[in-house]
Amino acid sequence: MMKKAAIFITCLLLNLSITSSAKAEEIVIEVTGNGGSSNNQVQVQTQTTTEVAQSNEANVTNNVDSNADTGNNDANLNTGGETAISTGDTASTTNVSNENINSNLASTTSCCNSNTSVNISGNGAGSTNLGVANSSSTHLVSQNNYASINNNITVNANTGYNKASFNGGNSTIVTGNISATTNINNKNINNSYYDGQVDIMGGNSVIIKGNGAYSFNNAVINDNSNIIVTNINIAEILNNVEQQLNTGGNETLKNLGDTAIVTGNIQSDITINNENINSNFTKIECGTCNPDKEEPPTPPVTPPVTPPTNPTVKPGDSYVQPSSGSTGPNGPAVGAMLPATGSTIPYTLIATLLLFFMFLSGLYLRFHGSNAPPPTIA
């Protein structure tokens, strides 16, 4: 007897260890085995929210003063010989570069909100059975950039304002050339990039079969994926460039000899480049994801019955409500028989119950049969 009890306990533990449960990312709804005229309803709701917020603020001020002077020379009151003033050339180059200011990069991925299975089967006649699964995924992305850039550049260059007066001989003034170059480059300011991927309809399946006559069966799967992207870019850029360049203002007064003034050339180059300011790039890809699941078998070639727009469900009919929200590239499948999902009765449980029945039968025959031992009288 103890040996049989040990075998029974061993089988029971083996049955418990083999029985598996649904994965965490799965939603399994089963409405099965309910009696006639019963009312059964199961509703499951899951929601996932991802929020990304990026904010940048930049204040840049560039003040540049450049001064170059070879002028303001005097050669006056010379009594003999020749008088000459020759000034050198000046060159001024100013470069200001503001690049890669306020850049945002965000990437989110939502693969398979849930693998939802609804199984409505084996319910009694006249029963009402409803299975509802709601799964939603929301991504909120906010990217804000503010940039204030002030470029103040002043260039002063002089080779003039020379004087050669009151000289007894010849007087000559030759001023140098001036070259001034100013370059301002404002590039890649307030740039936002978002790359989002949403995979929808993560392996959903609906099974409605084997229900009694005059039963009403309804399965609803709502699988929604939402991405809300908000980009705000504000850029205030002020470029102030001032160049004061001079080779003139020369004087030769009251000279007894010959007088000559030759002024130099002035070349001024100013370049201001504002490139890629306040740019937003948003990329959202939608696909179908179904990891860890085998491809469903090809259903038999039978023309599907398309339900009317406002179907009238008669007693004993089954109506599958299509998925609302986002769907795959081929749309929702109506009335397709998909492979059974969820838990099934393991064979070990059947064997354990059979063994338990045999154990009880042995006890009964042991104490109530014809060969049962006589009762002991104290």
Tens of pLDDT, residues 285-318: 766 554 454 444 444 443 443 444 444 444 333 3
Q: CB neighbours of 205 closer than 8 A, spacing ≥ 6?
A: 116, 117, 118, 296, 338, 339, 341
Q: So what's the pLDDT on residue 98?
A: 93
Q: So what's the pLDDT on residue 112?
A: 52
Q: Which residue, 189, 208, 94, is CA-closest to 151?
A: 94
pLDDT above 90: residue 29: no
Tens of pLDDT, residues 222-276: 877 788 889 999 999 999 999 999 999 999 888 888 889 999 999 999 999 999 9
Tens of pLDDT, residues 30-50: 888 888 888 888 888 878 888
* 26-32/115-121 β-pairing: parallel
Confidence of residue 375 (pLDDT cuts 50, 70, 90): low
Segments making up each domain of the chain, as ranges: 1-21+355-378, 39-342
Cβ 304 vs Cβ 336: under 8 Å: yes
Q: How many CA atoms lie within 13 A of 256 on its CB side?
A: 9
Q: In the beta sheet, which residues pair with residue 316?
A: none
Return d(Cα 225, Cα 247) in angstroms, integer. Answer: 71
Q: Using the 8-state DSSP alphabet, how is residue 148 labeled? A: E
Q: CB neighbours of 336 closer than 8 A, spacing ≥ 6?
A: 299, 304
Please state the rounded mean pLDDT for residues 47-73.
90
Written as one letter, the residue type at 242 is E
Return d(Cα 273, Cα 347) in angstroms, integer. Answer: 77
Q: Using the 8-state DSSP alphabet, how is residue 125 labeled? A: T
pLDDT above 70: residue 143: yes
For the CA atoms of the chain, what is the radius of gyration? Answer: 46
Tens of pLDDT, residues 111-125: 555 677 888 888 888
Q: Which residue, 125, 139, 151, is CA-closest to 52?
A: 139
Return d(Cα 218, Cα 206) in angstroms, integer. Answer: 10
Residue 326's φ and ψ, nearest 5 degrees, are -75, 140
Q: Which of 154-158, 282-286, 310-314 has the lowest mean pLDDT?
A: 310-314
Return d(Cα 43, Cα 350) in angstroms, integer. Answer: 30
Return d(Cα 163, Cα 76) in angstroms, integer. Answer: 7
Average pLDDT, the chain: 75
What pTM, to 2 d.p., does this model score?
Answer: 0.57
Tokens read off for 267: 């070349």
Cβ 72 vs Cβ 162: under 8 Å: yes
Measure the CA dihedral 332/337/342/345, to 10°.
Answer: 170
Cβ 213 vs Cβ 316: under 8 Å: yes
Q: So what's the pLDDT on residue 373?
A: 56
DSSP 81-97: S-EEEEPPPEEEEEEEE
Confidence of residue 319 (pLDDT cuts 50, 70, 90): very low
